[in-house]
Structure 1
Amino acid sequence: MTITEYSTSPPRAQSYRPRTLRRQPIPDHTAPRRRPKITAHGVRAGLGAAIAVVLAGYVLGAGWRGDLDIDAVVTLLVFVVAVWMWIFASIDDTYVALGAALALVVVGAVDTETFTETLGSELIWLMVGAFVIAAAITASGLSARLSARVLTWARTPRHLVHLVTLALLITTFAIPSTSGRAAIALPVFLALAAVLRDRARLVLCLALVFPAVILFSAIGSLLGAGAHLITSQILDTTIGSGIDYLTWAMLGMPLAILWSHLAAEVALWIFTNHAERATPLRITREAVGAITAAPIHGPFSTPQRRLLWTLGVVIVLWCTESVHGLSPAIVAMLGALVATAPAVGATTMPAAVKTIPWTLLLFMAATIALGVALSETGAAQWLADQAFGSIRDQGPAGAISFVVVVVVISLAAHLVMQSRSARSAVLVPIVVATAPLVGVDPAAAAFISTAAAGFCITFTSSAKPVAMFAASETVPGYDSRHLLSLAAVLAPISLGLLLAFAFWVWPALGLPLLAS
């Protein structure tokens, strides 16, 4: 038996070292001070703050003179602060919109019922149903399968670019919001980039075609962007009637088709050379299917066929609302129930609901409340008088000048305000209030402004789809130089195209430019 000996000596005392105080350097007051670095963003934010202060002072002066009542003054002040924060502050757009709407409720410019009813409005329920149907389509693999089938028809780079454009145009009727369509289209682009890995010029061209077409084709459908629903709601609040699904499609789809294919052709000419365009292509289903992991052989599965029928019936019912009387929101929710029904749909309701971008819906509800406040308090009318009062009595020349100014401002608005919905929430109330003063139909003016606001491809931050397809570690996309090159060519083309539609095409399709 071994006995373990324990030491009875006291433990070694730990040595104590006094704490060394770090000597602080004595400031040299004779040395030149380092000036803070001035950045472009800081200059822009400072200039924007100065403009906001001037505008706020001008609004307060109008209230002091009695030109505006207290509700209109408060609404305009909140509006100025919200716009400044949307442009310059690094705060989420939805947070800013909700804060502005709640501020209007607290001060009494908007009543509680108006604020709460916006979130439960028909347009919000329409978007919820559409997002659930879109989630079922994605879960079934239908979108990837149809994309693969379409892309295998391409025999030349020009065929491929325009087939991609056609496929994205079709999704305008099935997938709500540009961000949702970009999320579905990104895996298809990555599959194409992998198949065409040896043709870098063509991959770069496709990287630009995808977001450009997603943004330009959105005008073809009422559900193409949240800004469209905001415009329709503001028109309904202001003049008593919005723009229904069928009318929006009849007016917007011709522009969407022409605008998208022009953008695709311009991108093809800028970023590929003659040799690249002349080299034939052959994209097999096996090549695309192996990367997308989507079964593309054989007949459609039973869930896919049911979803095709469901989507077709929903679109027909949306377009024939005047015949059956069912609200588009009710139709969308019925379609959502069928698309997620047990043993029938391709996904479950809880799974589909998780894909809904609730921040977008909250943003829409808050901006609708802000737009209603601008209209009902007379603030939008006052802004219209201040901005366009000089062209009120110019007759037809004033109407032409007004339309040109609206198109130019709406085209350029993305340079300072990234959110498409925010741009419509800011511009449409003013445009609708101004249009009657110059003899322009309010619905036509609102539609023109909303269509022009779809041009947002100059910077990576101009729109979410543009950011999603930019070059990164996983995406073989583009950089800022490519975007600027494409935007420089497309901006004047878009201006001419929008003015041609505003003055000739849309009046011929039943949207008169001049007020009756």
Structure 2
Amino acid sequence: MTAPGPSGTRPERFETRPPGRVARESAPVVPTGRALLRSPALRRGVVAVVALAALVGGLGLAADRVPGPGGPGLSDDGRVTVVVFTVAVSAWVFTRVDDTYVALGAAVALVLTGVLGTDGLFEALGDDTIWLLLSAFVIAAGVTSSGLATRATAYVVSAARTPRSLAHLLTGALVVTTFAIPSTSGRAALALPIFLCLARVFADRPALVRTLALLFPTVILLSAVGSLLGAGAHLVTSEVLVAATGEGVGFVRWLLLGLPLAVVSAHVAAEVVLLLFSSRAERRRPLRVGPADFAAESPTPVTGPLSVAESRAALLLGAVVVLWCSEPLHGIDPAIVALVGALVATSPRYGSVSLPAALRSAPWSLLLFLAATLALGTALTSSGAAAWFAGGLFGGFSGDGAAVAFLAVVVVASTAMHLLVQSRSARSSVLVPIVVALSPAVGVDPVAAAMASTAAAGFCHTLPSSAKPVALFANVTGTDTYTPRDLLRLSTVLAPVSAALVLAFSLLVWPMLGLPYLR
């Protein structure tokens, strides 16, 4: 019998087992083939692969046998494009693989299969829209580092005396940032310190803090349509129109069409947020906030005279916007204007940021994604795949009222698309080529259809993962903001309102501004 241990207890049995047995039992467990086959994750993966293969095979067969709008089935290039496009969209919807990785993989697949030439892919990387966006990011880095945007916002909101006036003043300020910061995520990052200041000032009013937390991403997303540089999706839309019709939408025309919609939809959304998430008593309760309240969260002064860096940033930004708007007078391409502005913003004696630092702040993943989706959109149009998709999805539209019905379906589908594809640029690369391909067949102007789709796709508020600004303001350390249930409540009301506004502008307002929806 084994003697008791020093503490009077009997030793554990494993201490008397042979060392070899102990080693075998302590070795890591290697799953057997049978265990792997029983794994739920593996079964789900196999089902997904089989389903995707069946979908791709079915589409390939359909592309071969089903006639498109212009006659028989697709060419070989068209069938390959359909398969690659379907796989890319499936990866965007059903997997967690990075969107840029998927887009680049799809573009490379089109090159390897001969649908897209090597020059076509690399020319997309050198497209003037890429240079325009990159230069705009460099200018934005200079404006942000100068502190001009924070100071301007602080002075604007200091005029507020009630929650309603605060909400609409913030909305106006955020609409203006559409011309200074060329991405929704960049504007959200710029606005976050402003929100933190307001949350600290109104810490005793949690309902107001929640309302403001919802207001910022809502306005940022809906106001992006006001500028060609408001989102990368706008550049995708313009390039798809160039490939399909030979003419895109320039900065001035986009400003004329998009800014009125941005202003109206942003202020309507602000009112919806106020009515849904604040009581009447809260909205009537007075408030006061001054520029000094922002000093704690701002790395640059927000009171006193403008600094040299702020004055120069204001002058540079004003000059660039004026030159963009006056392109018909001087004929200088907006990309060249932006590039000159970027050089001035990073110049050793004038600029407030160095060129290497500004380039490090640029979202290179977004730029590569944009280039890849431009190549994918070009392939969809040139191979006939977009027209084939359009005939299958919207081929039933004909006769009287077909144009209005088509636009309504486009707006609704574009509004709901964020539930499947999170990236705004990816949504445009999926929808816009199809919409542009079919619109002439139902008597709709391709530019009007593309603008309606792109504007409607700006709504992406339903889930925290639907857009980066929504995710950013949903997870603010030390501050309670909003829950997924709040977002669902907001989107239930705001989605139909937003879609109705886009459709109203497409049918009523844009024709008065020179863009009739009928071809």
TM (norm. structure 2) is: 0.90
Report what 2:190 is aligned to.
184
1:327-380 CA-partner distances (Å, limit 9, x unpaired): 110000100111111121111111111100000000000000000000001111
The list of structure 1 runs, each at least 4 consecutive aligned residues, that deviate by more than 6 angstroms after superposition, is 36-39, 42-49
Distance in 2 separating the partners of 1:483 and 1:48: 33
2:59 counterpart of 1:58: yes
Name which of structure 1's ranges 455-464 and 275-284 shifts more when overlaid on structure 2.
Answer: 275-284
Q: Distance in 2 between matches of 1:308 and 1:53?
A: 56
Q: Is the 8 A contact 2:232 2:370 kept in 1?
A: yes
- Residue 110 of structure 2 is aligned with which of 104, 114, 135? 104
Q: Per-residue CA shift, 1:40-72, capped at 9, x if unaligned?
A: xx9999689747733541333432676111111
- Specify every segment of 5 or more residues in structure 2 that has no aligned partner in the other structure, as ranges: 1-15, 26-33, 67-71
Runs of at least 5 residues in structure 1 that lack an aligned partner in the other structure = 1-14, 25-32
Moved more, 44-53 or 313-322: 44-53
**Which amino acid in structure 2 is aligned with residue 120 of structure 1?**
G
Look up the match of 2:424. Answer: 420
Q: Does 2:163 correspond to 1:162? A: no
Paired residues of 1:52 and 1:84 also in contact (CA < 8 A): no
| Aligned mates of 2:212, 2:46 — CA distance in 1 | 35
Whether the 8 Å CA contact 2:452–2:506 is kept in 1: the answer is yes
The 1:96/1:267 distance shift into structure 2, 3 A limit, reads same
Q: Structure 1 pair 323/278, CA: closer, same or farther in 2 (3 Å)? A: same
Tell me, yes or no, if structure 1 residue 71 matches structure 2 residue 77: yes
- Give, in whole Å, the separation in 1 of the partners of 2:121 and 2:17: 67
**Structure 2: distance between partners of 1:91 and 1:359:** 13
1:167-210 deviation line (CA, Å, top 9, x unaligned): 10000011101111111111111111111111100000000000
Secondary structure at 2:507 match in 1:
helix
Q: Cα RMSD (Å) of the superposition? A: 2.5
Q: Where in structure 2 are the equivalents of 1:18-33 lying within 5 Å?
A: 18-21=19-22
For the Cα contact (< 8 Å) 1:207–1:477, is it kept in 2? yes
Structure 1 counterpart of 2:141, one-letter code: A
Q: 1:248 aligns with which of 248, 254, 276?
A: 254
Change (3 A) 1:38 1:221: farther
For 1:239, the equivalent position in structure 2 comes to 245
Structure 2 residue 351 is the aligned partner of structure 1 residue 309 = no
Q: 2:31: which partner in 1?
A: none
Which residue of 262, 265, 269 corresponds with 1:259? Answer: 265
Alpha-carbon distance in 2 for matches of 1:276, 1:315: 39
Contact 2:411-2:456 within 8 A present in 1 as well: yes
Q: 1:480 to 1:305 in 2, by over 3 A?
A: same
1-structure distance, mates of 2:392, 2:109: 25
Report whether the alignment pairs 1:455 with 2:454.
no
SS in 1 for 2:209: helix
Q: Relative to structure 1, is the Cα distance of residues 245 and 52 closer, same or farther in structure 2, using a 3 angstrom cutoff?
A: farther
Task: State whether residues 59 and 83 of structure 2, in contact with CA within 8 Å, keep that contact through their aligned partners in structure 1.
Answer: no
Are 1:52 and 1:80, in contact at CA under 8 Å, matched by a contact in 2? no
Alignment partner, residue 4 of structure 1:
none
Shift of 1:287: 1.7
CA distance in 2, matches of 1:69, 1:38: 41
Q: Percent of pairs identical after alignment? A: 53
TM-score under structure 1 length normalisation = 0.90
Count of aligned pairs between the two proteins: 490
- Partner of 1:490 in structure 2? 494
Letter in 1 for 2:400: P
- Whole-Å Cα distance in 1 between the matches of residues 344 and 182 of structure 2? 18
**2:505 counterpart (501, 506, 512):** 501
More off after superposition, 484-493 vs 224-233: 484-493
Relative distance call for 1:199 and 1:46 in structure 2 (3 A) is farther
Counterpart in 2 of 1:10?
A: none
**Paired residues of 1:115 and 1:369 also in contact (CA < 8 A):** yes
